[in-house]
Amino acid sequence: MMTPVWIKVCGLTDATAVSVALEQQVDAIGFVFAPSPRELSIDQALRLAEPARRKALCVAVTLHPSEVLVSTLLQEFQPDLLQLDWADLASLPPLDPARILPVVRQQQIPPAHWPARILFEGPRSGAGVTADWRQAAQVARATDLVLAGGLSSDNVAAAIRDVRPFGVDVSSGVESSPGRKSPQKIIEFVEAARRASAGV
């Protein structure tokens, strides 16, 4: 049997969604600092993250961030994890590996040495497009893989069965409209993911 699947709900924009995610005891909550319907200012993210501190990991989600943005987030938002594309690391000052969640996108040339944990994503984040599960399953044998891309309560059980990931990451799959999370969909996703991991 697998250990319980690690669950991240990403792109939260309101206090109700944060509260529901915490009630469901998710492992991580993502706050987006990149152009998106889910984009937040640092002040907005600080307010939303306050009740989550020490209850779930608070993840600062970026896309091709500048050195200035990374420095500002680390100093002001103080995330537990900084999420950014693996390729972005080459253009930034060295970061503490324990504080980053590197994103590896399907069909990219894999790192020469896999980090201890990655987020495996499709070509575009937050677009609701399912990632390549076959490739993800191969990568999951080499490192702790958090599967993202097009997941919902309808397909997360199949994803866990086929990929055997360390964790799953959902965003658009638990939304009622772009950028607005549905409390009921969060609950349904978490329950489906936990049932699936218990049965593998």
Q: Is 151 contained in some domain?
A: yes
Q: How far apart are CA 82 and CA 196, in angstroms?
A: 28
Alpha carbon distance, N-terminus to C-terminus of the chain = 6
Cβ proximity of 195 and 157 under 8 Å: yes
Summarize pLDDT for 79-103 with one digit per residue, the tens: 999 999 998 999 999 999 999 999 9
Give the DSSP letter of residue 32: E
Domain count of the fold of the chain = 1
pTM equals 0.94
Which residue type sits at 142? A
Q: Which of 66, 71, 83 is nearest to 31 (CA)?
A: 83
Summarize pLDDT for 5-60 with one digit per residue, the tens: 999 999 999 999 999 999 999 999 999 999 999 999 999 999 999 999 999 999 99
Alpha helices (runs of H) in 56-107, residue ranges in sequence order: 67-72
Q: Is 121 contained in some domain?
A: yes
* Structural domain boundaries, residue 146: 6-199
Following DSSP, what letter does each residue of 134-189 receive, concatenated? HHHHHHTTTSEEEE-SS--TTTHHHHHHHH--SEEEESGGGEEETTEE-HHHHHHH
Q: Is 1 contained in some domain?
A: no
Q: Is 97 contained in some domain?
A: yes
Following DSSP, what letter does each residue of 89-151 receive, concatenated? GGGS----GGGEEEEEETTSPPPSS--SEEEEE-SSTTS-PPP-HHHHHHHTTTSEEEE-SS-
| Domain at 113, CATH number | 3.20.20.70
Summarize pLDDT for 140-178 with one digit per residue, the tens: 999 999 999 999 999 999 999 999 999 999 999 999 999
